[in-house]
Homo-oligomer: A and B are copies of this chain.
Amino acid sequence: MRDARRTSPRLKPGVKRAQILEVATEQFGRHGYEETKWADVAESVGIGSTALYHYFESKQHCLYEIIGKTVFEFREQFDRRVAEHDDWGEALVAVLRGGFNLTGWEILRLRVVTAEHTRLGVHSSLPREEAARASARANKRDLEFAWGTFLARGMEQGLVPERSPQLLTRAVIGLYNSVWVWYRPGGSLQLDDVARFYIERQLDILGCDPEDAARWLAAAA
């Protein structure tokens, strides 16, 4: 990171861009998106506001990229975990467990994403910002679609009661997102305990047979 700070934006634009995203995520997560001044992000990465504009049209453009990237990574991990398991239930548990396998920075990032993702609904008049917004929305739809088709396969195998895959997807993701509103690392609750509790509740929502669920959890332990 130290080298990246000394590098001119023109030489390694990808490095500088990644650095801005990382610092912005950290500051949005710690102090709140609204409370973070865009100029402070520029100062933290050691560039002026003109250079910053080279990478992001606005603070909101940067936020949209953070959300889009986060959701894209969730989708990649989702696909990878599903591909790694032949057993549907073991794939499900791997995906649910993966959702809580997080670094402190990733928890901060989820706090930003879950607190601010409703902004994706508002059309932007800045062209690059609007493109980032549209891309983040598309990534969100893709992730929901992947979940929906995965749940439909579980229904087909008789492992999940027949229900609307779309509503069930929203319920499982909605419950998961709600954790990052209140969870703070270093508080009285350990992430492992929160994970165990919430994964069981996600399995409850899906209506999986408790014996099936216990077997999948044991197999993945």
**Interface positions of A (Cβ within 8 A of B):** 31-32, 34-35, 115, 117-119, 121-122, 163-164, 167, 170-171, 173-175, 177-179, 181-182, 189, 194, 197-198, 201, 204-205, 207
A interface secondary structure, majority: helix
Q: Which residue of B lies closest to A111 (CB)?
A: B118
What chain B residues lie within 8 Å of A163 (beta carbons)? 197
Residues B174 and A179 in contact, CB atoms below 8 Å apart: yes
Give the oligomeric copy count: 2
Residues B175 and A34 in contact, CB atoms below 8 Å apart: no
Partner of A197, one of B167, B173, B179: B167
Residues B171 and A178 in contact, CB atoms below 8 Å apart: yes
Query: In the assembly, what is the distance between CA of A84 and CA of B175, in Å?
Result: 29
What chain B residues lie within 8 Å of A118 (beta carbons)? 32, 115, 181
Residues A178 and B182 in contact, CB atoms below 8 Å apart: no
Partner of A178, one of B178, B189, B201, B204: B178
Query: In the assembly, what is the distance between CA of A117 and CA of B118, in Å?
Result: 12
Query: In the assembly, what is the distance between CA of A64 and CA of B213, in Å?
Result: 42
